[in-house]
Amino acid sequence: MAFLYSFPLPMILVVAVLLLQIHHSHSLNCTSQKFTSNRVYDNCDDLPNLSSYLHWTYDSSNSSLKIAFLAPPSGSDGWISWSINPEGKQMIGCQALIAYKVDEKITVKTFNVSSYKIAPSKIAYQVSDTEAEYSDGIMKIFATIALPANLTTINQVWQVGSTVVDGIPAKHAMLPENLKSMGTLDLTVKEKSTSGGKRNGIPIFLIFACFWFLFAY
């Protein structure tokens, strides 16, 4: 108990709250996810399945879509993918960006998914600035995609898998989550709105802890 007396309780509370925030940083809303300074996005969405997040900026002047897609692969040697499907909300037809390890290095490759047997290939869009990261169980895909002019919405499909076989991402699980990971991205949404609610807020617990701290002195 000597520890408690020598350390003010409110301080302990603040530290505990901070630790809690750090511990849960992966499951928090996308608004709390930050990238290095040169990666800033106007919008972010907490995607409804597979603990995935999309950060994006659409520039209508040149119809370029800059994205960061984050998801936990379902195995440490697995893969994540984010696609645009001009044909519908389904796997076949996906113009996919897939991140996985190639020679131990996490890489992004493009796949024109025209059947259940996939291989790296060109896709319907010009893709630049691709980069992948993998840390703390989360993979990230960064890319800029040149879209046809004047689109207002795109079909997005995302997925995660647990294995890569002979350099090709292998079949994903067929759980409900895996089969519902698709939706519409509204490119006309103006900056700083998200389907996931709160943006850039100070966590309420932290505010409470600070008030507590003030009252205690």
Residues that bind ligand NAG (CB under 6 A): 27-29, 46, 48-49, 59, 61-62, 64, 112, 114, 122-124, 144, 146, 149-150, 176-177, 180, 196-198
Q: Which is nearer to ligand NAG, 10 or 64 (CB)?
A: 64
HEC letters along 109-171: EEEECCCCCCCECCCCCEEEEEEEEEECCEEEEEEEEECCCCCCEEEEEEEEECCEECCEECC
- Burial 9-29, CB ≥16 within 10 A → b, else e: ebeebbeebeeeeeeeeeeeb
- For ligand NAG, the closer CB: 101 or 111: 111
Q: How far is the CB of 174 from ligand NAG (least distance, A)?
A: 12
> 28 vs 170, which CB is nearer to ligand NAG?
28
- Supply the minimum distance, in Å, between the C-beta of residue 83 and ligand NAG: 12
In this structure, what token pair is assigned to residue 205? 């617990």
What contacts 24+ positions apart, CB below 8 Å, involve 211-216?
Answer: 212/10, 212/13, 213/10, 213/11, 213/13, 213/14, 216/8, 216/9, 216/10
Closest distance to ligand NAG from the beta carbon of 216 (Å): 28
Distances (CA, A) of 60 to 70, 82, 146, 150, 184: 24, 21, 11, 7, 17
Q: Provide, rounded to whole angstroms, the least separation between the CB of residue 4 and ligand NAG.
A: 31
- Residue whose CB is less far from ligand NAG, 6 or 27: 27
Please say which residue, 10 or 203, places its beta carbon nearer to ligand NAG. Answer: 203
Closest to ligand NAG by CB, 48 vs 167, is 48
State the residue number with the nearest CB to ligand NAG: 197
From the CB of 86, what's the least distance to ligand NAG, in Å? Answer: 10
Both tokens of 99, joined, read: 């991140």
Question: What is the closest distance, in whole angstroms, from the C-beta atom of residue 166 to ligand NAG in the complex?
Answer: 21
